[in-house]
Amino acid sequence: MATEYIPPKQGVFGQFFDVTFLLGLVFVVLFLPIWLGIAVPSRVEKLPPGVSYTTNADGTRDWTGLSWDALKQNPTMQAQWEKLGYTKETAAAIITMPFDYKIDVMGVGLTIIIICGYFGFMLVVSEKEYRQVIAEKFD
């Protein structure tokens, strides 16, 4: 018979610390990177040939060479954009921001190592803890 493990009793202060730690983790690791604009989708501006703009002081843009044709929108698409309340200028702000799927080998490698390392660590530690659980339950 394996000896039963008696956990220490956790006081109010300890419980409070644990909750604060987890809450802090959520906000520092998940909330802040997005709120500060670090972890955002990788969209990169790509203007069609012959189209350019200058930004005014109040943030509005003056476009040159902009047309629905240049944005590769056929008359049907143009009609739907207009039904949604867009002009070619406001639509251009959306259409000229495609995703950038550049794959950098370092980044992929790092991500793979982190994910595999995480699962590896978790499975190894879990296995160790699981053997204790089974021993205490069945011996």
Partner 1 sequence: MDREATAVAGETGSHVGLLKVLGPVHVWALGVGIVLVGEFMGWNYGVGKGGAFGALISCFVIGILYTCVAMIDSEITSTVAAAGGQYAQAKHTIGPLMAFNVGLYMVLTYTMLNASDIQVAGQLVQIAAGNMNVTIPWQPYTILCLALLTLLNYRGVLATLSVNFVITALAFLSILVLFIGVKPWAPHEVLLHSQLLTALPYGWLGVLASFHFGIWYYLGIEGTCQSAEEVRSPGRALPLGTMTGMITLLIAAAITWYVVCGLLPWEYIGWDAELAPLYDAARVTGSSTLTVILFIGTLFSAIASANGCINDAARAWFSMGRDRYLPIWFGAVHPKYRTPFRSILFLTPIAAIFALYIPLAEIITFSILSGLLNYTFMPINMWKFRRKWPIGSIRRGFEHPFHPIPAGVLLTLCVATFFAIYLGYGRQLLSMMLFYIVASAWFAFYRYRYVRRGDQFSMPWPRPQGY
The binding site for partner 1 (CB under 8 A) comprises 4-5, 7-8, 10, 14-16, 18-19, 21-23, 25-27, 29-31, 33-35, 38-43, 73-74, 76-77, 80-81, 83-84, 86, 91, 94-95, 98-101, 103, 107-108, 110-111, 114-115, 118-119, 121-123, 125-134, 136-138
Tell me the β-bridge partners of 64. 52
Q: Answer left, alpha or beta for residue 65, where phi above 0 means left and psi between -120 and 50 means alpha.
A: left
In this complex, which beta carbon is closest to partner 1, that of residue 52 or of residue 133? 133
Is residue 48 within 8 Å of residue 71, measured between CB atoms? Answer: yes
**Helix 75-83 vs helix 88-95: angle between axes, to the nearest 10 degrees?**
100
- The CB-of-5 to partner 1 minimum distance in angstroms stands at 5
